[in-house]
Structure 1
Amino acid sequence: MSYHSRIESAFSPAKETFETLWLSLLRKESQHQRFFIASVHGGDGATTVAACAAIGLARHLSEPVVLIEANIKNPGLAFQMSLPGAPGFVELMRGEAPLEDVTHGTGVPGLSCVCAGGPNAGSLGGNRRLQEILGELEHEYRVIVFDAGPILPYSDSSLLLQYVDEAILVASAGKTRDQDILKAAQIISASETPLVGTVLNFYRKEVPTWVAAE
């Protein structure tokens, strides 16, 4: 069974939750959209939620979507999706590989993926380069989904917030403390990027719950 099939099977009890998520995210009047999905802490399941979001958006839109693994310090998407880990986002940012060499099909119609890239990447850096990359991507993709690193402790992933339209926070039920969720939400708020909601993961036998932001 493919990775995306395993994801859909695992999250099938939460189909209604994710249907609500897709509808709340999509803005029909927007030509392009960029989403930032990050956990409060590592291990909260942001990569799985980001992959599920990208799969759902690609299928609901019937337009091209790209999932970018920006969690360069603890990548896992390449293994999960059986894709080459490098070259990837790191090499793209450094100018060591062109976009066509780091972008891979996933088996889901309309969905491509850029994995994190080489090890020991250090800081993302390169704001001007990131702007150039986003411009290239938006020539080909309607939606860009960033699978970012955890917000706490404060990391480079938060620097991506200035380049996205909306953010989604992922927390772990029974594990993530309320004060940590609030702190992560405040970091997002300080960037002036709208926090559209929080996915409470591992809730009721690992079925996630979508909590819309007020």
Structure 2
Amino acid sequence: MPRQMSDRKLITYYNPESPIAETYRTLRTNIQFSSIDNPLRTLIVTSPNSGDGKTTTVANLAVTYAQEGKRVLIVDTDLRKPSLHQLLSLSNLTGLTNVLMNETEWQQAVQETSVSGLFLLSCGPTPPNPSEILNSRKMQQLIDELKEQYDIILFDTPPALIISDSLIIASKCDGVILVVSGGVTKRQHAEKVCASLAHVNARMLGVVLNNKNKRERKKEYAVYFRK
């Protein structure tokens, strides 16, 4: 039985009627409408720097997909500083790195969360060569196999301005969501990340503005999606 998840961060699960939870559902809907004819199956959520809120965003977005009846998998590819297992109150003893190192099958590493339809493939032990194993044939093979079992797969990646791992995963996925922190993330940092993603032919779906005050949050988010 999964342990209690973080009620402070998983607002879409513990307070689904809140304005912030509705914002995450709006994000989900806009992602879906961005590619109606060819539904997006694999998405990465990244940010320029640590602390921008990417992990909280990917977890809440995943919950909204599961609440819609989808079979959803979150994969923690932040191999240097994994945290999804803590947010979801699950184990990190076995995970993605064990699968990529051929130490276990992914079916044994995936964990069920407290949210119906939502599963986690945690990071696992930190490897000595994160970039190399993420860029391996095994990683691409794993993604292909997971797509056969899940409706949508969300990848939590390291900060894209600091570590190139995000670019590796972005090149293998259908789209990218960039999370920036209002009043903290520098514009030139966000622009640099967008340029790097374009260089690997990643599809930028949009930018989530995080950490705005309550009075401004909904307005800022709506303005973004009218562009």
Pairwise same-fold verdict (TM > 0.5):
yes
Structure 1 residue aligned with 2:20: 14
Pick aligned residue for 1:111 from 86, 95, 118: 118
Higher share of residues assigned strand? 1
Gap runs ≥5 in structure 1 = none
Coordinate RMSD, CA, aligned: 2.4
Q: Displacement of 1:173 after TM fit?
A: 1.1
Letter in 2 for 1:20: T
Cα offsets for 1:113-143 (capped at 9, x unmatched) = 0111103443242431012101221121010
Q: Please state if 1:150 is matched with 2:159.
A: yes
User: What CA distance in whole angstroms lies between the structure 2 residues aligned with 1:141 and 1:193?
Assistant: 21
Measured in 2, the distance between the counterparts of 1:213 and 1:140 equals 34
Could you list the per-position Cα deviations for residues 45-88 of structure 1 after superposition, in whole angstroms to 9, with x for gaps in the alignment?
1111000111111112x121100000011111112211110211
Q: Give the Cα–Cα distance (whole angstroms) in 1 for the partners of residues 26 and 128 of structure 2.
A: 36
2: distance between equivalents of 1:110 and 1:122? 32
Percent of pairs identical after alignment?
Answer: 26
Equivalent residues of 1:93, 1:124 under 8 A apart: no
| Matches of 1:177 and 1:58, distance apart in 2 | 33
- Using the alignment, how far apart are the partners of 1:179 and 1:116 within structure 2? 30
Which residue does the alignment assign to 1:48?
A: 56
* Contact in 1 for aligned 2:6/2:87 (Cα 8 Å): no
Q: Distance in 2 between matches of 1:63 and 1:2?
A: 22
What does residue range 129-208 of structure 1 map to in structure 2 within 5 Å? 129-204=138-213
* Mean Cα deviation higher: 140-149 or 3-12: 3-12
How many residue pairs align between the two structures?
A: 213
Q: Which runs of 5+ in 2 are unaligned?
A: none
Does residue 79 of structure 1 match 2:83? Answer: no
SS of 1:3's partner is coil
- CA shift, 1:164, in A, is 0.5
- Does the aligned pair in 2 maintain the 1:104–1:113 contact within 8 Å? yes
**Which digits, 9 at most, give the CA deviation of each residue in 1:17-49, with x for residues without a partner?**
222211111245446610010011011111110
- Which deviates the most, 32-41 or 20-29? 20-29
Q: What does residue range 20-39 of structure 1 map to in structure 2 within 5 Å? A: 20-26=26-32, 27=35, 29-30=37-38, 33-39=41-47
CA contact (8 A) 2:178 2:207 kept: yes
In the alignment, the residues of structure 2 paired with residue 179 and residue 32 of structure 1 have an alpha-carbon distance, to the nearest angstrom, of 28
The two structures have a TM-score, normalised by structure 2, of 0.85
Contact 2:44 2:176 survives alignment (8 Å): yes
**Cα gap change, 1:213 to 1:83, in 2 (>3 Å):** farther
Which structure 2 residues correspond to residues 61-76 of structure 1 after superposition, within 5 A?
62-76=69-83
Indicate how the Cα distance of structure 1 residues 24 and 80 shifts in structure 2: closer, same or farther if over 3 A, else same.
same
| 2-structure distance, mates of 1:30, 1:110 | 22
Q: Cα offset for 1:4?
A: 6.2
